[in-house]
Amino acid sequence: MSRLEQKIRSRAFVVTSELTPPKGIDLTELLVKAEMLKPWVDALNLTESPRARMAIEPKAVAHRLIDQDIEPILQVTARDRNRIAIQADLLGAATLGIENVVFMSGDSPSGGDHPDAKPVFDLNATEMLNMARALAGGHDMSGNALKGAPRLFLGAVTNPGATEFAREVENTRRKIDAGAKFLQTQALYERSTLERFLDALKPDGVAILAGIIPLKSAKIAHWLNDKVPGVRVPDGLIEQMHRAADSGTEVDNGVDIAARVIRDVRPLCAGVHVMGLGWEDHIPAILEASGVRA
């Protein structure tokens, strides 16, 4: 059982974050960030070519984190591989000691740095969860017996602020029914967003990790509202960041806002997923100010 699974099962408040593997094989910067975050987080997501921009595959990077006694969470997308390749990758991950997996569809190649790449999308996230649960049960997706079954702790993503709210609730329920034991949410900035979602979803003990993206500036806040579906930064926070820019206190305000959101949602969820997006150095200060880490 992974340490993340143990902590979630014990109902301790968990903190996860994420790092983006580089385009290339030099992992120096990533491993330094991981070591810096190690005392503060319970596990680190490793993204899989986010925004369809090619990067080193995360399974190898996850193995390097294990070498540093840092718990990885492997992100697995449907974008680039069919069901045969995904199953093979999960078995390979398990042999390397990687147990925590988060499934998601992935971004279309058309918006990435290889726009002529052919998308696969053989399976959706729910189908990948069912597939992984089958592997853990000792057989592949077609029912063929495995010679040794992997131990996997299955997760998925969800978006409490989705515009098509009822559809998102229904889709998330399917993920839970398919075996997801924890859900990392898209970034949110108001307790009410999570309350409404949980009231509709009724997650039945599945661990909800509320997503937090610290606001670096008012410009970033506007970008999130304009470009990231389901994310809404309230006008009051945007105005606060504009004032912070005028006074030169953007970092302090960004840290304070993120910490306040964590304090607000803490009673509702099993943990938080803090996405630094280049602000990894400030995550310790956010967690300390929020009171979830000392």
pLDDT tens track for 10-45:
999 999 999 999 999 999 999 999 999 999 999 999
Task: Report CA-CA distances (Å) from 122 to 40, 125, 160.
Answer: 37, 10, 25
d(CA 99, CA 227): 32
Contact 36, 8 (CB under 8 A): no
Please compute, for residue 19, the number of CA atoms within 13 A of its CA located in the half-sphere on the CB side.
32
State the residue range of the domain holding 259.
3-290
The predicted model scores a pTM of: 0.96
How far apart (Å, rounded) are the C-alpha atoms in residues 240 and 218?
8
Residue 99 has pLDDT above 90, yes or no: yes
Cα separation, 186 vs 229, in Å, equals 9
The domain spanning residue 231 has which CATH number?
Answer: 3.20.20.220
3-class DSSP assignment, residue 203: coil
What's the pLDDT at 59? 98
Which residues have CB under 8 Å from 256's CB, separation 6+? 289
245: part of which helix (H) or strand (E)?
helix 235-247
- In this prediction, what percent of the chain has a pLDDT beyond 70? 100
Average model confidence (pLDDT) across the chain: 97
Q: What is the pLDDT of residues 228-284, one digit of tens each?
A: 999 999 999 999 999 999 999 999 999 999 999 999 999 999 999 999 999 999 999
By the 8 A CB rule, do 4 and 98 touch? no
Length of the chain: 294
pLDDT value at position 294? Answer: 79
If one counts the domains in the chain, the total is: 1
Please say if the pLDDT value at position 50 is more than 90.
Answer: yes
For residue 35, the model assigns a pLDDT of 98
